[in-house]
Structure 1
Amino acid sequence: MHRPRQGNTALNVVLLLYLVGFFAPSLVSSISVSTPAELHASKGDSVTLSCTFKSTSRPTSKMTVDWSYRPQSGGPPLTFFHFSSRAFLPVDGQFAGRVQWEGIPARGEASIILINATLNDNGTYTCSVRNPPDVHGSPTSYTVLTVTPKVASIHFTDVAVLLAFVLLPSTIITLILIARILCPKKQRDQSKAYRSPIEVTEGEEYGIHPIPKEKKASCCDLYMMDSEDEEHYYEQKKRPPTDEGYAESQC
């Protein structure tokens, strides 16, 4: 009867060790923290350093959150924010007066806001969460922040767009009207100087053609006349003057 009792005891020990080995990891290694791998911002912006966590235990007053910063140039990390029942904001150093707590532990959020980002804020930020007894697993996570100079840009509001579409055409029309009022004579002269090839002269549309003026005789023409023509010319010269006279010789 003594031997069976020893066998039962050994079996119970094996079962106990198996149960402990099976359930123990789930009791102490169930917390996980996650953050974005990279964040980008412009100088002067407010940046949300997002951090979330998952834990099998409900957050209590023993839960803690720590944010640390390591410069882009390297060096040891510097813890600048701590939460334990309440937020402890930095009172000196690089982040003094520029950190705001945005975490909600009951929802698994441990985020902070970095106000008025500067180029000196470039670096790696680490979020660490402890929620006893869940202190193992992946209690930390990293995010790299890159701050760049702000690029000047022009933003058109709805009012500006409306004014551009209304005032610009009206201004152009007003200038055209002023130009037509100040320069009417020039426009009329140009209209008279140009005649279309299909236009008719005054009187042509009624079949009346202007009488061409008789060409006045010049000295050279008189010199080339023969004797008969010359006598005829002097007879006409002795006649009374008509509406259109003849040119007298200037030779």
Structure 2
Amino acid sequence: MSGRSRRSPALNVVLLLYLVVFFAPSLVSSITVRTPAELHASKGDTVTLSCTFTSSSRPTSKMTVDWSYRPQSGGPPQTFFHFSSRAFPPLDGQFMGRIRWQGSPARGEASISLINATLKDNGTYTCSVRNPPDVHGSPNSHTVLSVTPRAPSVRFSDVAVLLAFILLPSAIITLILIGRMLCPKKRRDQSRSYRSPIEVTEGEEYSMHPSGDKAKKASCCDLYLMDSEDEEGYYNLKKRPPLDEGYAESQC
């Protein structure tokens, strides 16, 4: 009876050590990787595949980052990017020359950029981070990328530019002609019946110089719509000095 009681403490110690060895790393040394669940982009865009991680140990030269891709149509994932102390971009395949390392292990970043996204890039991207001794936790995270065709942009063709140069002057000329038709024209009697002071008779003197109440000034519309002949007669009449009755009688 005493022998069994002596063995039980030793057995308890062994069981405790077993639990510490197998379960303590999962509680202390663990790593967590996070990525956005979905990403949307247009064809031709540069897409940043974001990946961050937290680790209980500082990143060392043993830390590795792997990016894999599984097509939207299905199939096994294919690793196309690897990082271990430095970046190893893909040298062949659909991602050749289109992957750029954007990570910083010291800040917990393991992101990459996908240049010139295409419709064939649709699928699931997985970021895997290993940082020994952190070998437990959630070292993988997935992102579903959806690339859609870019909306067509509006561009002025040569035909549209040519039509603009033709239609714009035509519209301006049409507006001017409509304005000349709607605005009242200035009477041409005064400009065409102008005579020299010698030819003015006593009966015509009053008609050549109407009273101030009946005289009207030319409006802006009249001046703008005058013909060249009308304008010349108007300004000659305006510059003409007034004739007094004594001067008119002496000429007679």
TM-score of Structure 1 vs Structure 2, range by shorter chain: 0.5 to 0.7
Structure 2 match to 1:188 = 184
Where 2:184 maps in the other structure, the secondary structure is helix
Deviation (angstroms), 1:135: 1.6
Deviation (angstroms), 1:92: 1.1
So what's the TM-score if we normalise by structure 2?
A: 0.59
Structure 1 match to 2:100 = 100
Structure 2 match to 1:90 = 90
Question: Structure 1: where are the runs of 5+ without partners?
Answer: 156-170, 191-251
Q: Which whole-Å CA distance do the structure 1 matches of 2:129 and 2:94 have between them?
A: 23
1:12-48 Cα deviation digits (max 9, x unpaired): 44554455466342244x1111111100000000000
Q: Which whole-Å CA distance do the structure 2 matches of 1:152 and 1:89 have between them?
A: 32
Structure 1 match to 2:56 = 56
Where 1:188 maps in the other structure, the secondary structure is coil
Deviation (angstroms), 1:149: 0.5
Aligned pair 1:123/2:123, yes or no? yes
Which has the larger displacement, 106-115 or 5-14? Answer: 5-14
In structure 2, the CA distance between the partners of 1:153 and 1:64, relative to structure 1 (3 Å rule), is: same
Q: Which whole-Å CA distance do the structure 1 matches of 2:76 and 2:7 have between them?
A: 57
Higher CA-based Rg: 1
Q: Which whole-Å CA distance do the structure 2 matches of 1:124 and 1:15 have between them?
A: 42
RMSD: 3.3
Q: Which whole-Å CA distance do the structure 2 matches of 1:15 and 1:152 have between them?
A: 68
> What's the % identity of the aligned pairs?
64
Aligned pair 1:25/2:26, yes or no? yes
Where 1:41 maps in the other structure, the secondary structure is strand
Letter in 1 for 2:133: P
In structure 2, the CA distance between the partners of 1:152 and 1:61, relative to structure 1 (3 Å rule), is: same
Deviation (angstroms), 1:76: 1.3
Structure 2 match to 1:179 = 176
Kept in 1, the 8 Å contact 2:103–2:112? The answer is: yes
Letter in 2 for 1:26: L
Q: Which whole-Å CA distance do the structure 2 matches of 1:24 and 1:189 have between them?
A: 102
Structure 2 match to 1:44 = 44
Aligned length: 172
Q: Which whole-Å CA distance do the structure 2 matches of 1:136 and 1:41 have between them?
A: 33
Where 1:23 maps in the other structure, the secondary structure is helix
Structure 1 match to 2:207 = none
- Where do 1:114-153 residues align within 5 Å? 114-153=114-153
Where 1:62 maps in the other structure, the secondary structure is coil
